[in-house]
Amino acid sequence: MTILAAPARDPGLLVVSNRLPELRDPVSPDGERTRPVGGLVAALQPVLAARGGLWLGWSGRTVPGDQFGPVRWDPNRDPPLAWIDLPETAYERYYNGFCNRSLWPLFHTLPGRVRFEDAEWESYVAVNERLAVAATELVPPDCGVWAHDFHLLLLASGLRARGHRGPLGLFLHVPFPGVDLFRVVPWAEQLLEGMLAFDLLAMQTPNDVKNFLRVAGALSPAAVGDGVVEHGGCTTLVRALPIGIVPAPFESLPDSEEGDEAAGLLQAVAGTKLVLGVDRLDYTKGIPERLEAFARLLTLLPEWRGKVSLVQISVPSRAEVAEYQEQRHRIEAAVGRINGEFGEANWTPVRYLYRSYRRDQLSRFYRAADVGLVTPLKDGMNLVAKEFVAAQDPAQPGVLVLSRFAGAAAELTDAVLTNPFHTDGMVRDLDRALRMPAAERRERHARLLTAVHRTTATSWAEAFVAALESCRRSP
């Protein structure tokens, strides 16, 4: 049931994200189902349930004009959800604009794709203000608030301006750039001020933390210490808290279903070494570079022709955005070129799948793969790398080839780390992975699996909330 009034009792924790879990990435205009590979639900459900918490965000729907609708909420969902609809102008300017054409490429160290418009910045400010207002309507001023990602860098300042006294935390899922890149933003100082209004800033890797501390020291009069920033009479703690997965569902492989698409595809590539890529279709994921490296492998090492197959799963994303349409066409053209140049009557080098799969199907792909090829140009973490590790058969595991520019590389040091900008280097790393002896594969996998279990989605969420609650200010 959808209700317009505030909750009947005070939640013990408010989570705020750009999108809500059950409405995230709906069916796109071209009819493709765009459910993401990962998600926050498994991590946040337990901490919200333990605290009687509430999750606030954008519904995924738009309304005509430029006026925000009322806050709605439903206590009967698990977890309970509250939401607002975005005006069409805000969707275009805030979401497609400043978030995805300004901050997203900038934070992923791709300045050539960045562009700024005043109207988009103003819309970003307005949406953060609207969510701050919505939060004050839903929770008391001493409630803890956990915001997620680069969409909400100004949320804390909006809440503080409205008298919120409770601890405010932000987890940044994407990488944080260095000083020279961050100052490219025309409103860099305003963004930094907004981030320093949080009591806790958590990031994926120690390098992200270092970058933020350097930015704070360079662009503000703040006093910067070891993981602490003192500014305006307030203290902001800055911590590396890498996100994890829930390993169990990937470790227990379900039986294949009759007519299951995953089983059918695996049968089609049987008899060859299977190299697997699974990504959301995004220009940060390095899919064209990965395809180029695979083609180069077949050119430089022709003994692999007919003996190795690449299966690339690309989960549709932002299909209405021109940059993503261009990326899709570039990938499909590369697949066609490689198959045309190297394919044989009984061997198709690349199998390309533009769709999403259920978790049990992904697990089957992961476990069947001889090599998991996870090569983003830049990534905050990349949970596919951890899912691949969890799904392996410990007695006969596949090899993870991982970009050294993924946040996961800081933890998964026993992967074969590679440079997606160096094609010949990727060829050598892929060839090494394909030839790796079983004993070495088992040793590496055991250490990788230990790392995956060390930080799970559940332990990450509990660690963040514990750190947030320790920031609670004295009355």
Please say whether the beta carbons of 378 and 394 come within 8 A.
no
Residue with tokens 């920033």: 229
Tokens read off for 301: 């090492």
Is 151 among the residues known to form the active site? no
Q: Is 298 helix (H, G, I), strand (E, B) or coil?
A: helix
Is 66 among the residues known to form the active site? no
Sheet holding 350-354, edge to edge: 350-354, 308-315, 273-280, 371-374, 399-403, 416-418
Options 108, 151, 173, 231, the catalytic residue: 173
Q: Is 445 helix (H, G, I), strand (E, B) or coil?
A: helix
Q: What is the 3-state secondary structure (H, E, C) of 27-57?
A: CCCCCCCCCCCCCCHHHHHHHHHHCCCEEEE
- Angle, helices 359-368 vs 261-268, to 10°: value is 20
Backbone angles phi, psi at 409, to 5 degrees: -65, -25
Sheet holding 13-19, edge to edge: 72-74, 81-87, 54-63, 13-19, 144-148, 168-171, 200-203, 234-240, 228-231, 223-224
Identify which of 205, 201, 177, 190 has the alpha carbon closest to the alpha carbon of residue 114: 177
* Paired residues of 330 in beta bridges: none
Question: CA dihedral defined by 82, 88, 94, 96, rounded to 10 degrees?
Answer: 110
Options 85, 279, 379, 414, the catalytic residue: 379
Active-site residue numbers? 173, 379
